């Protein structure tokens, strides 16, 4: 179920709650807090036109590192909390988790839509209509998005949506966890850390790399993220 349908279901459930005076959610099995999260597989494995196999393999290796470190930090922090440890070392682990976990999740958002034979933007899709209403056209939005992606700094270019207002914004995520507009939902992110492009495009090749990513974006995946 995509998020639009999910929100509709939740809204219907809320209405039912008001009418019937009760709501019995489907019971969920408890989550094992010490279970390892497994790295995801992506269509980009093996390389894509414009992103070499060597670059993608190296990049996915970094992603798996974020997964492994997030798993370890979550276990260590939970153990510390169960023991009521609140020393500076424990607090540093908490700060580090923000970096590692956000890096893991952003890489998943980045790699998930990248594929050969990616679907084009759906001209009649509500997301594309919202982009046109905000920037005037898809081309005008992309120009602004590319400018965001080529800002000086280390981080991510992102197209995000505010669930409260529906507003779309281009955003810059500094590192992995900084400068993020809190509460917004990422629809599209492009990794512009040096490791994402230097092997193929050189230290000064970020703009060329962003251009190479553009035709690899499967808009069917991105549009499903639209609220």
Largest Cα span, the chain: 62
Structural domain contains residue 213: yes
Q: What is the pLDDT of residue 18?
A: 36
The yes-or-no verdict on residue 47 having pLDDT over 70 is yes
Q: How far apart are CA 191 and CA 157, in angstroms?
A: 7
pLDDT of residue 1: 44
Both structure tokens of 47 = 């390389």
- Per the domain annotation, does 26 fall within a domain? no
**Residue 25: inside a domain, yes or no?**
no
Q: What is the CATH number of the domain that holds 116?
A: 3.55.40.20
Q: Give the pair of three-digit tokens for residue 19.
A: 């009418």
- Nearest Cα neighbor of 104 from 28, 40, 195 is 40
Q: For the segment 169-207, what is each residue's pLDDT rounded down to a tens digit?
A: 999 999 999 999 999 999 999 999 999 999 999 999 999
The distance from CA 181 to its chain's CA centroid, rounded to whole angstroms, is 13
DSSP for 23-52, please give it. --PPP-PPP-TTPPPPPPP-TTTT-BTTB-
Report yes or no on 35 lying in a domain: no
- Give the tokens for residue 140: 């005008």
Range of the domain at 155: 49-227
Residue 64 lies in a domain: yes
pLDDT tens sequence across 103-146: 999 999 999 999 999 999 998 999 999 999 999 999 999 999 99
* Model confidence pTM above 0.75: yes
Answer for the pair 9, 1: CB distance below 8 angstroms, yes or no.
yes
Q: What is the pLDDT of residue 6?
A: 42
**Residues counted in the chain:** 227
pLDDT band, very low/low/confident/very high, at 25 (cuts 50, 70, 90) = low
- For residue 185, tell me if it sits in a domain: yes
Tokens 């807090």, located at residue: 33
Which pLDDT score is estimated for 23? 43
Structure token digits, residue 226: 């639209």
- 15 is a domain residue: no
With respect to residue 97, please indicate whether it lies within any of the assigned structural domains.
yes
For the chain, the helix, strand and coil percentages under 3-state DSSP, each to the nearest 5: 50, 10, 35
164: three-class secondary structure by DSSP: coil
Query: Using one digit for the tens of pLDDT, what is the confidence trace for 150-163?
Result: 999 999 999 999 99
**Overall number of domains in the chain:** 1
CA–CA separation, 28 vs 86, rounded Å?
31
CB 28 within 8 A of CB 195: no
Q: Report how far residue 76's alpha carbon sits from residue 83's, in angstroms, rounded to the nearest whole number.
A: 11
């Amino acid at each position: 179920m995509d998020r639009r349908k999910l929100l509709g279901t939740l809204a219907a459930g809320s209405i039912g709650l008001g009418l019937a005076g009760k709501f019995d959610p489907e019971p969920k099995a408890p989550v094992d807090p010490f279970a390892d999260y497994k790295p995801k597989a992506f269509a980009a494995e093996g390389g894509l036109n414009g992103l070499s196999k060597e670059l993608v393999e190296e990049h996915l290796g970094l992603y798996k590192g974020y997964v492994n470190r997030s798993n370890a930090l979550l276990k260590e922090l939970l153990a510390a909390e169960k023991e009521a440890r609140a020393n500076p070392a424990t607090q540093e682990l908490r700060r580090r988790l923000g970096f590692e976990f956000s890096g893991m999740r952003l890489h998943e958002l980045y790699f998930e839509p990248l594929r050969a034979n990616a679907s084009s933007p759906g001209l009649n899709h509500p997301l594309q209509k919202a982009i046109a209403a905000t920037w005037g056209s898809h081309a005008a939005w992309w120009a602004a998005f590319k400018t965001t992606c080529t800002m000086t700094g280390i981080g991510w270019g992102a197209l995000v949506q505010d669930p409260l207002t529906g507003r779309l914004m281009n955003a810059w995520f500094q590192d992995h966890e900084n400068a993020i507009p809190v509460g917004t939902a990422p629809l599209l992110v492009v990794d512009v850390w040096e490791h994402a492009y230097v092997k193929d495009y050189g230290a000064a090749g970020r703009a060329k790399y962003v251009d190479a990513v553009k035709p690899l974006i499967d808009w069917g995946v991105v549009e499903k993220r639209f609220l």
